[in-house]
Amino acid sequence: MNLDDKKINQLENTANQIRISIIEMLIQAGSGHTAGPLGMADVFALLYFHILKHDPKNPFWSDRDRVILSNGHICPVLYATMAHAGYFPVEELQTLRTFGSRLQGHPHREFLPFLETSSGPLGSGLSQAVGMALADRIDTGVTSEKYFYCFLGDGELNEGQNWEAIMLAGKEKLRNLIAIVDRNNIQIDGYTEDIMPLNDLAEKWRAFGWHVQEVDGHNFEALNDAVGQAHAMFEKPSVIIARTIPGKGVKAFERDYHWHGTPPNKEQGALALQELRTLGGRIKSEHQ
């Protein structure tokens, strides 16, 4: 899973295109979440375009890695990434949150079968991922070589069910389970440490028997190395706490919790798209 400068440049371009698609989707829908999807674009670009074992032309391949999105409200980044990876036409992104669309405001597996789970109620995704990893072990008789990646929000960790799942995964030593926490420090009502302080999040996970890494969620090399270390673990599940900037890429949105669940209007969206397209041009010129 080595990264060279050319690949990093490709990933930077891909993440920027994903961010552009997110803004376009939200403008068209007139509703949805902005900050989290923009903040996680780099992580999703790295996963789908460099790390994940998957095949968009054969999405039900039995040996594929599994992606479980527990914080389902950031689904615009998942939809945009999957579309750019070839799971469905990019043009379909414009149907976000419309009646009859496969791209609902929270992921719905019956509408879009390429998804591994439906999600919406926060706090349930990690339990689903633990169940999947355990079921896979029972089915195969061993811990298989497929990985189960579960995305969670940091505010979501206020939900107690997460900690039951964390405890069980540690007890079962689910080495092919990798949790990725979006540590952006915001939730819909404000900043996480004001609403319900998470304090030393790494020590909490470590106390439950997990291998813990904290990384810059916008540094492709650091993220790639963290996943590599997670793959090398033999007797523990792994968590990667990715420190991200909510609203990343659009200065007016960055680090402002008000954009957690608010979409840009047409004027705000146009300015955001201009900023992202300018950034995209700069990324290309810097690597020519």
pLDDT in tens, 153-174: 999 999 999 999 999 999 999 9
Six-digit token string for 71: 């914080």
Per the listing, tokens 């990646």 go with 149
> What global pTM score does this model have?
0.96
pLDDT at position 281 over 90: no
Residue 191's SS3 state is strand
The residue among 189, 182, 167 whose CA lies nearest residue 215 is 182
d(CA 180, CA 238): 9
Rounded CA separation 22/118 (Å): 20
Task: Report pLDDT for 241.
Answer: 98
In whole angstroms, what is the distance from residue 164 CA to residue 71 CA?
Answer: 17
Q: Report the greatest alpha carbon distance in the chain.
A: 56
Q: Confirm if 225 and 51 have CB atoms less than 8 A apart.
A: no
Answer yes or no: is pLDDT of 288 > 80.
no
> How do beta strands 177-183 and 148-153 pair?
parallel
Residue 180's beta-bridge partner residues?
Answer: 151, 240
CB 257 within 8 A of CB 233: no
Mean pLDDT of the chain: 96
User: What pLDDT is recorded for position 287?
Assistant: 61
pLDDT tier for residue 144 given thresholds of 50, 70 and 90:
confident
Tens of pLDDT along 57-66? 999 999 999 9
Q: What is the CATH number of the domain that holds 208?
A: 3.40.50.970
Question: Beta strand pairing status for 186-187 and 190-191?
Answer: antiparallel
For the residues 117-135, what does the mean pLDDT come to? Answer: 95
Domain of 59, in residue numbers: 5-286
Query: How large is the average pLDDT for residues 195-219?
Result: 97
Query: Are the CB atoms for 248 and 254 separated by under 8 Å?
Result: yes
Distance CA 224, CA 92 (A): 30
**Domains of the chain: total:** 1
Pairwise CA distance, residues 43 & 248, whole Å: 12
CB 40 within 8 A of CB 75: no
d(CA 91, CA 83): 9
Determine which of 71-75, 118-122, 146-150 has the lowest per-residue pLDDT on average.
118-122
